[in-house]
Amino acid sequence: MSDKNILTKIGESKLSRRSLLKWTGIATVPVIAGGVWSTKYLSENKNIVEASETIVPTCSTLDCGGKCMIKAHVRDGVITRISARSDKELDEANPYMKACVRGRSYRKNQYHPDRLKYPMKRVGKRGEGKFERISWEEAVATIIKETKRITEQYGPASRYVHQGTAVTGGTIGGAQLARRLMALSGGFLNYYHSVSMGNTAAATPYTYGTHQTGNSLDSLKDSKLILLWGHNPSETIFGNTLHYYKKLKEAGIKIISIDPRYSNTAVAFADEWIPLLPGTDNALMDAMAYVIVKENLHNKEFLDKFVVGFDEEHMPEGVPANESLVSYLFGKKDGIEKTPEWAERICKVPAKKITELAREYATAKPAALIQGWGPQRHASGERIARGGTMLASITGNVGVSGGWASGYGGIPRKFPMGIPVPDNPVKESISIMNWTDAITDPSNVTPENGLKDGDKLTSNIKLIYNLAGNYLINQQPDINKTKKILEDESLVEFIVASDHFLTPSAKYADILLPETTFFERWNIGESWASGDYIILSEKVVENYYESRSDYDWLSEVAQGIGVGQAFTEGRDEIGWINYILDETRKVEPDTPTFEEFKKKRIHYWRYDGPRIAFKDQIEDPVNHPFETPSGKIEIFSKRLYDMNHSEIPAIPTYIPEWEGAEDPLKATYPLQCITWKGRNRANSTFANHPWLKEVAEQVLWINPADAEKRGIKKGDKVKIYNGRGTIMIAAEVTTRIMPGVVAMQAGAWYDPDKNGVDTGGCANVLTSQRITPLAKGNAHQTMLVEVQKT
């Protein structure tokens, strides 16, 4: 009889006391691997000390404008809780906000079980998501080897450091460090253009000579009316601006939101919501100008003194007749008067409302037309930016407290220095919109479509460092096109990525590295332009698993490619914080030393009174001309006129944008799609966060009129598609989005099924890589789609 039969007969087939006893009786026990198993991970320790809770004030370095001081409650090396500042800690001169829903859930990012724990190398096809754990030694050695090989084979211009914004809220960030490394070791292909606000940054100076057109927000108390034009600080957390809007609302100042979507800002602050079709802003602006001029509400004295291009009497030399704003508004050249009725047909704002709005804006003196950065992320974004500056100028709202010059809205105040990036030996640079062309066909990258400081590229991009960035795939327009390029391992030969999670972009890494969070490294949190302080971002806890700060491993790579000393200059992270503070002190003498900073945690920069952009130019024009060629505000820009480009008008006229409200492509894809930034994410950071997913589920907003036509009810699974891709997503039928427009939140993680249909709700499956005419920038907000019930 075999053993098995005996046992079966006894009926013991599961582990139990009885069965074990039988086994115990059999013979000696097997030994496992020499007994090392008795104690492998626990060690006897005589010096255990129970640490009591400490509360460490610190600051995130995410790409979030809030820059709140948060308090990490630490017990025994573990962050047990995050708390916000108390009310009494508010400094009214330099306010910073209270931690938001994301901030209060930072622990959920920090201690997420899926956080990257070890360095990895790719083992499957690129993009497939198959990786294998390796040691740091192997990871760094591979990066050194590949960087050397590619540099030797293709030259330094084949090296590219991609946009990595996830830590740009800190003075020290991985992508910038990588650029330093590259610049020190022969150079790299650099890019320009901010995908956040590059279009307005490029266009606004054609009116004012600078994009620093913002007033400090404390001056808004003098406003009689505030137009938030595509501006949604409740959800985007635009610096500390919310602090002020709350106060303005309390003070009873009228606020109007102009937006295709009834945003949370509109809900919270606006007395009125005026929806318009995306990208048609200039039609509304022009009709407002028409009413203002027709009714004589413009500020003639101001225009006479400070402005070029308003009417035929104030035009630059060498321009033919009928090119001024007034000629345009009254149809002197095209025969079309830019009446409210004309605009209504385009932008869908009722003519009566346009007239009312124009009168209100022109007569509330002063009034602030504040442009957000969503509208300028359109194909027509540059014209929209200049349209705002036109309205501000004709009403004389420039250079006065309570007014607003409009356009970009930058506020140049005090900032800390960064870690220097030395001169790049590679002189050519590309627009960020050119990087995939620079991989596949550099001859396509010409000065016409974005190449700067050179007339051709000398190499394809062969090496990519992608640190703290999800722009490789997720945030990049036209994901389907991009991923094909990255999947081809013969094109880009090596990609190194560092991150906290396996993001859709990190999936395309050949070497994938676990990065530390802001709780695990030293940095300085920098407020956005509207705030005036720096906060020490301290290392609060040990690194999670084997994560390491990018500075650490980049230093080793620098060593390996022979520029170790030049890269570190012998400093560690704290050494660089000292350096930054010392350098900043040379410009701002009140900058604290590191020791002082460690004590006070936050440093406020003080000013005497609010900043009003162009105050000097208006009060003392003789000694303070505008920095434009004419020395005046240029509603008509001769420089733009001379470009002679059909999409770059010299005055901000309405020109239908491609894939916009009037594109014939609407016959196939009849809906415009836009995206918003939600309060549960900072760009795409936190998109994998289950709790924050509950805060705002990824859905497609569609107006009841459009839904009904398509038989769509709330909660239905719908397919949203165009020629570039398809997304499956649930529908939210709501009047909070206007008819003809659908909207979804930006930053959801791309999650393709086996047919390549995105199930994550990532809008960049639908966005286009077509560039804006002037800035050669991005148009993430311009796309036509169709929606179908599935």
Contacts with other proteins by CB under 8 A lie at 3-4, 6-8, 12-17, 19-30, 32-33, 37-46, 48, 75-80, 107-108, 110-114, 116-118, 120, 129-133, 501-502, 506, 512, 541-545, 688, 690-691
Q: Binder to ligand SF4 among 103, 260, 275, 777 (CB under 6 A)? A: 103
- Judged by CB under 6 A, the stretch of 92-100, 265-273, 696-704, 719-727 that binds ligand SF4 is 92-100
CB of 137 to ligand SF4, least distance (A): 35
Closest to 463 (Cα-Cα) out of 769, 174, 157: 157
Residue the block writes with tokens 């620079």: 438
β-bridge partners, 535: 525, 602
The option from ligand SF4, other proteins, none interacting with 49 (CB < 5 to 8 A, set by class) reads none
Query: By C-beta, is 10 or 321 nearer to other proteins?
Result: 10
The option from other proteins, ligand SF4, none interacting with 26 (CB < 5 to 8 A, set by class) reads other proteins
- Judged by CB under 6 A, the stretch of 57-65, 468-476, 586-594, 768-776 that binds ligand SF4 is 57-65
Within 10 angstroms of residue 590's Cβ, the number of other Cβ atoms is: 11
β-bridge partners, 73: 55, 81
Closest to 349 (Cα-Cα) out of 400, 306, 295, 287: 287
Distance of alpha carbon 165 from alpha carbon 239, whole angstroms: 16
Look at strands 741-745 and 429-431 and give their pairing: unpaired
CB of 543 to other proteins, least distance (A): 6
- Judged by CB under 6 A, the stretch of 46-54, 97-105, 499-507, 619-627 that binds ligand SF4 is 97-105
Element holding 81 (H helix, E strand): strand 78-83
CB of 74 to other proteins, least distance (A): 10
Query: By C-beta, is 41 or 623 nearer to other proteins?
Result: 41
Q: Residue 61 in 3-state DSSP?
A: coil
- 688 contacts: CB under 8 Å, gap ≥ 6: 112, 114, 501, 503, 749
Element holding 109 (H helix, E strand): helix 106-110
- Segment 645-684, which members bind ligand SF4 (CB under 6 A)? 682
Residue the block writes with tokens 């733009």: 640
Query: By C-beta, is 503 or 630 nearer to ligand SF4?
Result: 503
Distance of alpha carbon 162 from alpha carbon 172, whole angstroms: 16
Query: By C-beta, is 43 or 644 nearer to other proteins?
Result: 43
- Judged by CB under 6 A, the stretch of 58-66, 421-429, 493-501, 770-778 that binds ligand SF4 is 58-66
Distance of alpha carbon 623 from alpha carbon 619, whole angstroms: 9
Closest to 630 (Cα-Cα) out of 211, 389, 307: 307
CB of 691 to other proteins, least distance (A): 7
Query: By C-beta, is 324 or 685 nearer to ligand SF4?
Result: 685
Residue 779, CA distances (Å) to 83, 162, 263, 555, 783 in order: 38, 19, 20, 37, 9
Look at strands 633-634 and 307-308 and give their pairing: parallel
CB of 167 to ligand SF4, least distance (A): 12
Chain-centroid distance, C-alpha 58? 22
- Judged by CB under 6 A, the stretch of 59-67, 204-212, 218-226, 379-387 that binds ligand SF4 is 59-67
Q: Binder to ligand SF4 among 74, 182, 220, 237 (CB under 6 A)? A: 237
Q: Does 529 bind ligand SF4 (CB under 6 A)?
A: no
Query: By C-beta, is 18 or 333 nearer to other proteins?
Result: 18
Closest to 379 (Cα-Cα) out of 297, 473, 282, 448: 282
Q: Does 486 bind ligand SF4 (CB under 6 A)?
A: no
β-bridge partners, 467: 498
# residues near ligand SF4 by CB under 6 A = 14
The option from other proteins, ligand SF4, none interacting with 23 (CB < 5 to 8 A, set by class) reads other proteins
Query: By C-beta, is 89 or 582 nearer to ligand SF4?
Result: 89
Distance of alpha carbon 606 from alpha carbon 588, whole angstroms: 11
- Segment 69-88, which members bind ligand SF4 (CB under 6 A)? 70
Query: By C-beta, is 100 or 228 nearer to ligand SF4?
Result: 100
Distance of alpha carbon 168 from alpha carbon 188, whole angstroms: 20
Give φ, ψ of 26 to 5 degrees. Answer: -60, -60
The tokens of 739 are what? 């008819």
Query: By C-beta, is 15 or 667 nearer to other proteins?
Result: 15
Query: By C-beta, is 451 or 513 nearer to other proteins?
Result: 513
In the complex, the residues that contact ligand SF4 under the rule CB under 6 A are 60, 62, 64, 66-68, 70, 97, 99-100, 102-103, 237, 682
